[in-house]
């Protein structure tokens, strides 16, 4: 049976697809109407678009975009995000353009055609979607914005490439629910046209390895042999070269080892806009003090380092300055001792400042006195409706409790009076969007912990 829509017209009633193969040149589901795919239906849209302003009941269906018209002529659009089971690009030329956000619960396949153009929209693979067949000639593009995302539970992963999204993770620690976003934009006008933001529930002391995959068509004019991994702790505002990496031009991958935490990653030319090359940044607790040490392999115009500390891992305060070597081509070793530790966990980072005022940040370092009692804990984690907090206060007092996201944006605040000892508090979180958040207390106890909103 063949159903052919010569024009993109309104479906005023429910359209039910029950045959194994249905061809169309365009589908428009009007507000209030439905397209229902029963069973393992193949819906082939040839040189046309899928405009869904109503609802699409995906079933076990596969929606295939075929033909050879322009990418803008093969599109997915709608008043809200459409969720597909399987989605396939199988065009003899050109590709598919997103004009709205979409989700794919099953397999997203590249069979032929040049690209799926994100067009500043989000493609959500959720907890089950997988990419198949992506190649140098048939891939995701989106220089003007948008991203592919997924969330997976990663328990001490070994060589796991979630959803085949193109980044392989190994960690000795359980990461918990982990959100990964892949962007196709060019960072600072100089990176390759691919970057990853990795947001695990547990993001400290990971001893992790990250394998970043890329295509030659994403190199943006960078000589492949000069590629280096860079990370950002502030959503791409500043970038620092990642130490301990190795490039494999045969597999088109760059490996980074010994990562204490995950952040935002992309690839630049080695040494790009990086006057200081950091060899390591580490710390240890000695007699209730933090001894921080770091080393550089080369410096150009390095004025000084600022040592920053935080109780939450989000908001940092400068606690010290160490002069830089200025210009150097040999290893330089530095140290700083923090003798006034905050209660519980202390987070540190380096701010490297050039003589012209430009700056770069190191990765975040966490030091925790294991002998100290855990003063703030949450359950369940991940949470859907309510979050149960256990706060152990040394004495009676008031705290300001805040829920903030990884970028430091505050979503909720509440004032609490704590009794000395254990305090149990329940917080509603059903109105938060899915993602990673921090619970932070300021006052008679200064603590922070992470949780994931399902």
Query: pLDDT digits over 73-94, tens only?
Result: 999 999 889 999 999 999 999 9
Residue 340 pLDDT class (50, 70, 90 cuts): confident
| Helix intervals (H) in 165-282 | none
**Contact by Cβ (8 Å): 180, 167:** yes
Residue 13 pLDDT class (50, 70, 90 cuts): very low
E strand spans, 82-142 = 82-84, 86-91, 96-98, 102-104, 107-112, 115-117, 122-124, 130-132, 139-141
- On the question of a common fold for 276-368 and 376-453, the answer reads yes
**Contact by Cβ (8 Å): 165, 179:** no
Give the DSSP per-residue string, 11-29.
Answer: E-S-EEE-SSEEEES-EEE
Which of 146-150, 233-237, 423-427 is modeled with the greatest confidence? 146-150
Q: How far apart (Å, rounded) are the C-alpha atoms in residues 314 and 311?
A: 8
Q: How far apart (Å, rounded) are the C-alpha atoms in residues 247 and 268?
A: 12
pTM beyond cutoff 0.75: no
pLDDT of residue 126: 96
**Contact by Cβ (8 Å): 364, 448:** no
Q: How far apart (Å, rounded) are the C-alpha atoms in residues 42 and 64?
A: 7
Q: Buried b / exposed e across 264-285, counting CB within 10 Å, b at 16+?
A: bbbbbbbebebbbbbeebebeb
Q: How far apart (Å, rounded) are the C-alpha atoms in residues 246 and 29?
A: 50
CATH number corresponding to 276-368: 2.60.40.10
Sequence spans of domains, the chain:
10-269, 276-368, 376-453
Give the residue, 3 or 244, on which the prediction is more confident. 244
Helix (H), strand (E) at residue 408: none
Residue 256 confidence (pLDDT) above 50: yes
**Contact by Cβ (8 Å): 190, 272:** yes
Residue partners of 453: CB distance under 8 A and separation at least 6: 382, 383, 384, 429, 432, 433, 434, 435, 436, 437
Rg, the chain, Cα only: 25
Six-digit token string for 249: 């031009």
| pLDDT above 70 coverage of the chain, percent | 90
CATH class of 376-453: mainly beta
């Amino acid at each position: 049976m063949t159903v052919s829509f010569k024009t993109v017209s309104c479906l005023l009633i429910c359209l039910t697809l029950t045959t194994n193969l249905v061809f169309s040149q365009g589908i428009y589901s009007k507000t209030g109407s439905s397209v229902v795919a029963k069973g393992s239906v193949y819906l082939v849209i040839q040189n046309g678009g899928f405009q869904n302003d109503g609802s699409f009941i995906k079933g076990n269906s596969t929606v295939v975009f075929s033909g050879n018209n322009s990418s803008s002529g093969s599109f997915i659009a709608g008043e809200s995000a459409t969720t597909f089971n399987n989605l396939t690009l199988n065009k003899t030329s050109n590709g598919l353009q997103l004009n709205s956000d979409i989700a794919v619960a099953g397999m997203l396949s590249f069979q032929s055609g040049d690209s799926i153009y994100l067009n500043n929209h989000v493609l959500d693979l959720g907890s089950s979607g997988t990419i198949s067949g992506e190649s140098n000639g048939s891939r995701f593009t989106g220089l003007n914005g948008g991203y592919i995302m997924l969330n997976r539970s990663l328990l001490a992963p070994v060589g796991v490439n979630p959803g085949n999204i193109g980044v392989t993770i190994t960690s000795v620690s359980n990461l918990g629910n982990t959100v990964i976003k892949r962007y196709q934009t060019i960072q600072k006008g100089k990176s390759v046209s691919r970057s990853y933001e990795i947001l695990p529930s547990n993001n400290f002391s990971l001893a992790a390895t990250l394998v970043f995959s890329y295509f030659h068509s994403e190199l943006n004019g960078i000589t492949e042999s000069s590629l280096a991994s860079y990370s950002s702790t502030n959503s791409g505002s500043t970038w620092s070269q990642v130490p301990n990496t190795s490039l494999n031009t045969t597999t088109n991958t760059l490996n980074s080892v010994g990562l204490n935490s995950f952040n935002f990653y992309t690839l630049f030319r080695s040494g790009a806009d990086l006057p200081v090359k950091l060899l390591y940044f580490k710390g240890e607790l000695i007699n209730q003090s933090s001894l921080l040490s770091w080393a550089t392999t080369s410096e150009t115009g390095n004025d000084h380092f600022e040592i920053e500390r935080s109780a939450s891992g989000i908001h940092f305060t400068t606690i010290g300055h160490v002069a830089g070597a200025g210009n150097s081509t040999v290893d330089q070793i530095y140290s700083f001792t923090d003798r006034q530790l905050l209660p519980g966990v202390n987070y540190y980072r380096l701010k490297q400042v050039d003589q012209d005022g430009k700056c770069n940040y190191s990765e975040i370092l966490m030091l925790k006195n294991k002998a100290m009692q855990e003063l703030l804990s949450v359950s369940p984690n991940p949470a859907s409706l309510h979050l149960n907090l256990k706060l152990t206060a040394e004495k009676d007092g008031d705290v300001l409790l805040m829920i903030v996201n990884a970028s430091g944006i505050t979503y909720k605040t509440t004032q609490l009076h704590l009794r000395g000892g254990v305090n149990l508090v329940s917080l509603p979180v059903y109105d938060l969007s899915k993602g990673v958040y921090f619970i932070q207390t300021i006052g008679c106890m200064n603590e922070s912990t992470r949780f994931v909103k399902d």
